[in-house]
Amino acid sequence: MSILVAGGAGYIGSVTVERLSRAGHKVVVYDNLSRGHREAVPNQVTFVQGDIADSATLEKALREHKVDAVMHFCAHSQVGESVKEPFMYYQNNVQNGINLLGAMLRCDVKQFIFSSTAAVFGEPDAIPITEETAQHPTNPYGRTKWMFEQILRDCSDAHGLRSISLRYFNACGATELCGEDHTPETHLIPIVLDVAAGKRESLGIFGRDYPTQDGTCIRDYVHVSDLADAHIKALEALGKGAATNIYNLGNGQGFSVLEVVQAAEEVTSRKIPCINSPRRAGDPARLVASSDRIREELHWNPQIADLRRIIETAWKWKLEHPNGYGSAPAAAKDRFAS
Protein backbone atom coordinates (compact mmCIF):
# COMPACT_ATOMS: atom_id res chain seq x y z
CA MET A 1 0.00 0.00 0.00
CA SER A 2 1.01 3.63 -0.40
CA ILE A 3 0.85 5.40 2.97
CA LEU A 4 1.23 9.11 3.64
CA VAL A 5 2.60 9.58 7.13
CA ALA A 6 1.84 13.12 8.25
CA GLY A 7 4.30 13.91 11.02
CA GLY A 8 6.57 11.04 10.02
CA ALA A 9 9.70 12.93 11.10
CA GLY A 10 8.52 13.03 14.72
CA TYR A 11 9.06 10.54 17.50
CA ILE A 12 6.24 8.00 17.09
CA GLY A 13 5.81 8.79 13.39
CA SER A 14 9.43 7.99 12.54
CA VAL A 15 9.32 4.63 14.32
CA THR A 16 6.10 3.80 12.46
CA VAL A 17 7.76 4.76 9.17
CA GLU A 18 10.56 2.36 10.06
CA ARG A 19 8.02 -0.44 10.62
CA LEU A 20 5.96 0.38 7.50
CA SER A 21 9.06 0.36 5.30
CA ARG A 22 10.17 -2.97 6.72
CA ALA A 23 6.69 -4.37 6.04
CA GLY A 24 7.13 -3.44 2.36
CA HIS A 25 4.77 -0.47 2.15
CA LYS A 26 5.49 2.57 0.01
CA VAL A 27 5.84 5.44 2.47
CA VAL A 28 5.61 9.19 1.92
CA VAL A 29 6.60 11.26 4.92
CA TYR A 30 4.83 14.62 5.00
CA ASP A 31 6.22 16.91 7.70
CA ASN A 32 6.84 20.63 8.13
CA LEU A 33 9.87 19.89 10.35
CA SER A 34 8.65 22.38 12.95
CA ARG A 35 9.16 19.75 15.62
CA GLY A 36 10.35 16.70 13.69
CA HIS A 37 13.84 15.85 12.41
CA ARG A 38 14.84 15.35 8.79
CA GLU A 39 17.52 12.93 10.08
CA ALA A 40 14.77 10.69 11.49
CA VAL A 41 13.54 9.95 7.96
CA PRO A 42 15.66 7.45 6.06
CA ASN A 43 17.00 8.46 2.68
CA GLN A 44 15.09 5.65 0.96
CA VAL A 45 11.73 7.09 2.03
CA THR A 46 10.04 9.83 0.00
CA PHE A 47 10.00 13.05 1.99
CA VAL A 48 7.72 16.02 1.32
CA GLN A 49 8.33 19.09 3.44
CA GLY A 50 4.87 20.53 3.88
CA ASP A 51 2.32 21.70 6.37
CA ILE A 52 -1.08 20.06 6.77
CA ALA A 53 -2.54 23.57 6.63
CA ASP A 54 -1.33 23.74 3.00
CA SER A 55 -4.09 22.04 0.97
CA ALA A 56 -2.38 22.38 -2.41
CA THR A 57 0.85 20.66 -1.32
CA LEU A 58 -1.13 18.01 0.51
CA GLU A 59 -3.35 17.20 -2.45
CA LYS A 60 -0.36 17.09 -4.79
CA ALA A 61 1.36 14.58 -2.50
CA LEU A 62 -1.78 12.45 -2.15
CA ARG A 63 -2.36 12.31 -5.90
CA GLU A 64 1.26 12.04 -7.05
CA HIS A 65 2.00 9.11 -4.75
CA LYS A 66 -1.38 7.43 -5.26
CA VAL A 67 -1.88 7.30 -1.52
CA ASP A 68 -4.24 4.62 -0.16
CA ALA A 69 -4.20 5.58 3.53
CA VAL A 70 -3.02 8.40 5.78
CA MET A 71 -1.52 8.18 9.24
CA HIS A 72 -1.73 11.46 11.14
CA PHE A 73 0.93 12.14 13.77
CA CYS A 74 1.55 15.85 13.32
CA ALA A 75 -0.10 17.43 16.31
CA HIS A 76 1.13 19.54 19.19
CA SER A 77 1.23 17.29 22.22
CA GLN A 78 2.40 19.05 25.36
CA VAL A 79 -0.14 19.40 28.12
CA GLY A 80 1.52 22.40 29.80
CA GLU A 81 1.99 24.27 26.53
CA SER A 82 -1.63 23.64 25.60
CA VAL A 83 -2.78 25.29 28.82
CA LYS A 84 -0.69 28.38 28.01
CA GLU A 85 -1.36 28.45 24.25
CA PRO A 86 -4.80 26.90 23.68
CA PHE A 87 -5.42 28.71 20.41
CA MET A 88 -2.29 27.22 18.87
CA TYR A 89 -3.52 23.76 19.89
CA TYR A 90 -7.05 24.15 18.51
CA GLN A 91 -5.64 25.58 15.31
CA ASN A 92 -3.09 22.87 14.64
CA ASN A 93 -4.77 19.82 16.15
CA VAL A 94 -8.34 20.55 15.07
CA GLN A 95 -8.41 23.11 12.25
CA ASN A 96 -5.36 21.78 10.39
CA GLY A 97 -6.54 18.23 10.99
CA ILE A 98 -9.86 19.06 9.32
CA ASN A 99 -7.87 20.48 6.44
CA LEU A 100 -6.07 17.16 6.09
CA LEU A 101 -9.39 15.26 6.05
CA GLY A 102 -10.75 17.66 3.43
CA ALA A 103 -7.74 17.09 1.17
CA MET A 104 -8.13 13.33 1.59
CA LEU A 105 -11.81 13.44 0.61
CA ARG A 106 -11.06 15.55 -2.47
CA CYS A 107 -8.46 12.95 -3.48
CA ASP A 108 -10.76 10.03 -2.60
CA VAL A 109 -8.44 8.67 0.11
CA LYS A 110 -10.68 7.13 2.74
CA GLN A 111 -8.55 5.26 5.26
CA PHE A 112 -7.13 7.15 8.20
CA ILE A 113 -5.19 6.32 11.35
CA PHE A 114 -5.23 8.94 14.05
CA SER A 115 -2.85 9.50 16.96
CA SER A 116 -5.14 10.07 19.90
CA THR A 117 -4.23 10.11 23.57
CA ALA A 118 -5.09 9.03 27.08
CA ALA A 119 -5.48 12.76 27.77
CA VAL A 120 -9.03 12.49 26.36
CA PHE A 121 -10.04 10.86 29.66
CA GLY A 122 -8.90 13.55 32.07
CA GLU A 123 -9.24 12.26 35.63
CA PRO A 124 -10.86 8.86 34.99
CA ASP A 125 -13.69 7.48 37.14
CA ALA A 126 -12.12 4.02 37.32
CA ILE A 127 -8.86 2.20 36.55
CA PRO A 128 -8.04 0.49 34.23
CA ILE A 129 -9.40 2.83 31.59
CA THR A 130 -11.42 1.17 28.85
CA GLU A 131 -12.57 2.74 25.59
CA GLU A 132 -15.96 3.35 27.22
CA THR A 133 -14.62 5.16 30.29
CA ALA A 134 -16.21 8.62 30.46
CA GLN A 135 -14.12 11.28 28.73
CA HIS A 136 -13.64 14.58 30.51
CA PRO A 137 -10.32 15.97 29.26
CA THR A 138 -8.73 18.36 31.76
CA ASN A 139 -6.55 20.38 29.40
CA PRO A 140 -6.77 21.91 25.90
CA TYR A 141 -4.49 19.24 24.42
CA GLY A 142 -6.84 16.46 25.53
CA ARG A 143 -9.85 18.45 24.35
CA THR A 144 -8.39 18.89 20.84
CA LYS A 145 -7.88 15.14 20.53
CA TRP A 146 -11.33 14.37 21.93
CA MET A 147 -12.90 16.79 19.44
CA PHE A 148 -11.04 15.23 16.56
CA GLU A 149 -12.28 11.78 17.53
CA GLN A 150 -15.85 13.14 17.27
CA ILE A 151 -15.07 14.74 13.91
CA LEU A 152 -13.77 11.40 12.65
CA ARG A 153 -16.98 9.62 13.66
CA ASP A 154 -19.08 12.20 11.81
CA CYS A 155 -16.77 12.10 8.81
CA SER A 156 -17.07 8.32 8.71
CA ASP A 157 -20.89 8.44 8.86
CA ALA A 158 -21.23 11.21 6.30
CA HIS A 159 -18.40 10.52 3.86
CA GLY A 160 -17.33 6.91 4.39
CA LEU A 161 -13.85 7.95 5.50
CA ARG A 162 -13.03 5.04 7.80
CA SER A 163 -10.61 5.67 10.65
CA ILE A 164 -8.97 4.01 13.59
CA SER A 165 -8.03 6.27 16.49
CA LEU A 166 -5.28 4.97 18.72
CA ARG A 167 -5.21 6.46 22.19
CA TYR A 168 -1.61 6.31 23.30
CA PHE A 169 -0.84 6.22 26.94
CA ASN A 170 2.80 7.18 27.72
CA ALA A 171 4.92 6.55 24.63
CA CYS A 172 8.55 5.89 25.47
CA GLY A 173 11.70 3.97 24.54
CA ALA A 174 13.61 3.88 21.27
CA THR A 175 14.53 1.63 18.40
CA GLU A 176 18.09 1.28 17.16
CA LEU A 177 17.56 4.20 14.78
CA CYS A 178 14.82 6.39 16.16
CA GLY A 179 14.40 7.91 19.61
CA GLU A 180 12.93 10.78 21.54
CA ASP A 181 14.39 14.22 20.76
CA HIS A 182 12.06 17.09 21.63
CA THR A 183 12.96 20.74 22.14
CA PRO A 184 12.14 21.57 24.82
CA GLU A 185 11.97 18.08 26.32
CA THR A 186 9.06 17.73 28.73
CA HIS A 187 8.63 13.96 29.04
CA LEU A 188 9.65 12.08 32.13
CA ILE A 189 11.88 9.28 30.83
CA PRO A 190 14.11 11.40 28.52
CA ILE A 191 14.49 14.00 31.28
CA VAL A 192 15.40 11.32 33.84
CA LEU A 193 17.98 9.95 31.41
CA ASP A 194 19.37 13.44 30.77
CA VAL A 195 19.98 13.66 34.51
CA ALA A 196 21.64 10.23 34.46
CA ALA A 197 23.80 11.39 31.55
CA GLY A 198 24.86 14.51 33.46
CA LYS A 199 23.07 16.89 31.07
CA ARG A 200 20.74 18.13 33.81
CA GLU A 201 21.46 18.48 37.49
CA SER A 202 18.23 17.00 38.80
CA LEU A 203 14.69 15.91 38.04
CA GLY A 204 11.87 18.11 39.30
CA ILE A 205 9.07 15.84 40.53
CA PHE A 206 5.80 17.55 39.69
CA GLY A 207 3.77 17.01 42.82
CA ARG A 208 4.25 14.57 45.70
CA ASP A 209 0.80 14.94 47.20
CA TYR A 210 -1.29 12.97 44.72
CA PRO A 211 -3.59 10.24 46.08
CA THR A 212 -1.22 7.43 45.03
CA GLN A 213 0.93 5.07 47.11
CA ASP A 214 4.02 7.33 47.05
CA GLY A 215 2.27 10.62 46.26
CA THR A 216 3.57 10.88 42.67
CA CYS A 217 1.56 10.46 39.47
CA ILE A 218 1.06 7.04 37.93
CA ARG A 219 1.29 6.47 34.20
CA ASP A 220 1.17 3.52 31.79
CA TYR A 221 4.43 3.45 29.81
CA VAL A 222 4.23 1.78 26.40
CA HIS A 223 7.16 1.19 24.06
CA VAL A 224 7.16 3.22 20.86
CA SER A 225 7.81 0.16 18.67
CA ASP A 226 4.73 -1.51 20.15
CA LEU A 227 2.75 1.62 19.31
CA ALA A 228 4.11 1.45 15.77
CA ASP A 229 3.03 -2.19 15.49
CA ALA A 230 -0.48 -1.18 16.50
CA HIS A 231 -0.54 1.21 13.54
CA ILE A 232 0.38 -1.59 11.17
CA LYS A 233 -2.38 -3.77 12.60
CA ALA A 234 -4.87 -0.90 12.34
CA LEU A 235 -3.84 -0.34 8.72
CA GLU A 236 -4.34 -4.02 7.92
CA ALA A 237 -7.75 -3.94 9.59
CA LEU A 238 -8.86 -0.91 7.56
CA GLY A 239 -7.55 -2.63 4.42
CA LYS A 240 -9.86 -5.57 5.19
CA GLY A 241 -12.84 -3.23 5.53
CA ALA A 242 -12.88 -2.60 9.30
CA ALA A 243 -15.35 0.03 10.46
CA THR A 244 -14.33 3.24 12.22
CA ASN A 245 -13.10 2.42 15.70
CA ILE A 246 -11.11 3.64 18.69
CA TYR A 247 -8.58 1.67 20.73
CA ASN A 248 -6.62 2.31 23.91
CA LEU A 249 -2.93 1.49 23.73
CA GLY A 250 -1.09 0.84 26.96
CA ASN A 251 0.58 -1.95 28.88
CA GLY A 252 -2.07 -2.09 31.57
CA GLN A 253 0.50 -1.51 34.30
CA GLY A 254 1.02 1.75 36.11
CA PHE A 255 4.29 3.14 37.46
CA SER A 256 4.74 6.18 39.63
CA VAL A 257 7.29 8.90 38.87
CA LEU A 258 9.44 7.58 41.75
CA GLU A 259 9.25 4.03 40.38
CA VAL A 260 10.44 5.28 36.99
CA VAL A 261 13.35 7.06 38.67
CA GLN A 262 14.29 3.91 40.56
CA ALA A 263 14.12 1.77 37.42
CA ALA A 264 16.27 4.29 35.55
CA GLU A 265 18.84 4.27 38.36
CA GLU A 266 19.03 0.48 38.06
CA VAL A 267 19.34 0.53 34.26
CA THR A 268 21.96 3.29 34.14
CA SER A 269 23.75 2.42 37.40
CA ARG A 270 23.75 6.16 38.10
CA LYS A 271 22.19 8.24 40.84
CA ILE A 272 19.34 10.49 39.68
CA PRO A 273 18.98 13.47 42.06
CA CYS A 274 15.36 14.65 42.45
CA ILE A 275 13.85 17.84 43.79
CA ASN A 276 10.23 18.50 44.69
CA SER A 277 8.40 20.82 42.30
CA PRO A 278 4.81 22.05 42.26
CA ARG A 279 2.13 20.07 40.45
CA ARG A 280 2.01 20.63 36.69
CA ALA A 281 -1.28 22.10 35.44
CA GLY A 282 -3.61 19.55 33.88
CA ASP A 283 -1.90 16.38 35.22
CA PRO A 284 -4.32 13.63 36.33
CA ALA A 285 -3.13 11.46 39.25
CA ARG A 286 -3.43 8.07 37.58
CA LEU A 287 -3.76 6.90 33.97
CA VAL A 288 -3.58 3.17 33.32
CA ALA A 289 -5.07 1.53 30.23
CA SER A 290 -7.08 -1.51 29.52
CA SER A 291 -6.01 -2.51 26.00
CA ASP A 292 -8.16 -5.63 25.91
CA ARG A 293 -10.11 -4.42 22.90
CA ILE A 294 -7.13 -4.03 20.57
CA ARG A 295 -5.55 -7.21 21.91
CA GLU A 296 -8.71 -9.16 21.13
CA GLU A 297 -9.83 -7.51 17.91
CA LEU A 298 -6.49 -6.72 16.21
CA HIS A 299 -4.30 -9.26 18.06
CA TRP A 300 -1.94 -6.53 19.28
CA ASN A 301 0.53 -7.88 21.76
CA PRO A 302 3.19 -5.52 23.14
CA GLN A 303 6.67 -7.02 22.89
CA ILE A 304 8.61 -4.68 25.17
CA ALA A 305 6.32 -4.39 28.16
CA ASP A 306 8.86 -4.43 30.98
CA LEU A 307 9.68 -0.92 32.28
CA ARG A 308 13.40 -1.67 32.68
CA ARG A 309 13.68 -2.99 29.14
CA ILE A 310 11.84 0.08 27.86
CA ILE A 311 14.25 2.37 29.70
CA GLU A 312 17.22 0.30 28.47
CA THR A 313 16.24 1.01 24.85
CA ALA A 314 15.91 4.74 25.57
CA TRP A 315 19.23 4.79 27.44
CA LYS A 316 21.06 3.02 24.59
CA TRP A 317 19.70 5.57 22.12
CA LYS A 318 20.65 8.44 24.40
CA LEU A 319 24.23 7.16 24.78
CA GLU A 320 24.54 6.80 21.01
CA HIS A 321 22.91 10.17 20.32
CA PRO A 322 24.07 12.42 23.17
CA ASN A 323 22.78 15.48 21.33
CA GLY A 324 19.73 13.83 19.79
CA TYR A 325 19.45 13.62 16.02
CA GLY A 326 22.14 16.27 15.65
CA SER A 327 24.62 13.60 16.71
CA ALA A 328 23.23 10.64 14.71
CA PRO A 329 25.96 8.56 13.06
CA ALA A 330 26.01 9.57 9.39
CA ALA A 331 25.22 6.11 8.04
CA ALA A 332 22.44 5.25 10.48
CA LYS A 333 19.50 6.47 8.50
CA ASP A 334 20.46 4.36 5.48
CA ARG A 335 20.35 1.13 7.40
CA PHE A 336 16.80 0.03 7.94
CA ALA A 337 15.40 -0.42 4.46
CA SER A 338 17.71 -3.36 3.80
- x/- site string to ligand UDP, residues 203 to 222, per CB under 6 A? xxxx----------x-x---
Angle between helices 188-196 and 257-268 (to 10 degrees): 40
CB-nearer residue toward ligand UDP: 111 or 117: 117
Work out whether 60 is an interface residue with ligand UDP (CB under 6 A). no
Using the contact rule CB under 6 A, the part of the chain among 7-15, 149-157, 187-195, 318-326 near ligand UDP is 187-195
Contact by Cβ (8 Å): 247, 287: no
Q: Closest Cα partner for 277 from 213, 203, 219?
A: 203
Q: Which of residues 156-175 bind ligand UDP (CB under 6 A)?
A: 170
Work out whether 283 is an interface residue with ligand UDP (CB under 6 A). yes
C-alpha to C-alpha distance for 317 and 308, rounded to whole angstroms: 14
Quote the least distance from Cβ 121 to ligand UDP, whole Å: 12
Among 182, 208, 280, 309, binds ligand UDP (CB under 6 A): 280
CA dihedral 157, 163, 169, 174 (to 10 degrees): -170
Among 6, 45, 48, 79, binds ligand UDP (CB under 6 A): 79
Work out whether 321 is an interface residue with ligand UDP (CB under 6 A). no
Using the contact rule CB under 6 A, the part of the chain among 20-28, 89-97, 185-193, 245-253 near ligand UDP is 185-193
Task: Give the number of residues written for the chain.
Answer: 338
Quote the least distance from Cβ 203 to ligand UDP, whole Å: 6
C-alpha to C-alpha distance for 130 and 132, rounded to whole angstroms: 5
141, 210, 221, 247: the catalytic one is 141
CB-nearer residue toward ligand UDP: 219 or 318: 219
As to burial, measured by CB atoms within 10 angstroms (0-12 exposed, 13-18 middle, 19+ buried), residue 189 is buried
Quote the least distance from Cβ 105 to ligand UDP, whole Å: 31
Using the contact rule CB under 6 A, the part of the chain among 21-29, 102-110, 199-207, 320-328 near ligand UDP is 199-207
Work out whether 231 is an interface residue with ligand UDP (CB under 6 A). no
Among 65, 187, 208, 295, binds ligand UDP (CB under 6 A): 187
Quote the least distance from Cβ 239 to ligand UDP, whole Å: 30
Longest distance between any two alpha carbons in the chain, whole Å: 56
Work out whether 148 is an interface residue with ligand UDP (CB under 6 A). no
For residue 141, indicate whether it is catalytic.
yes
CB-nearer residue toward ligand UDP: 170 or 291: 170
Catalytic residues: 141
**Footprint of ligand UDP (CB under 6 A):** 79, 170, 186-188, 191, 203-206, 217, 219, 257, 280, 283
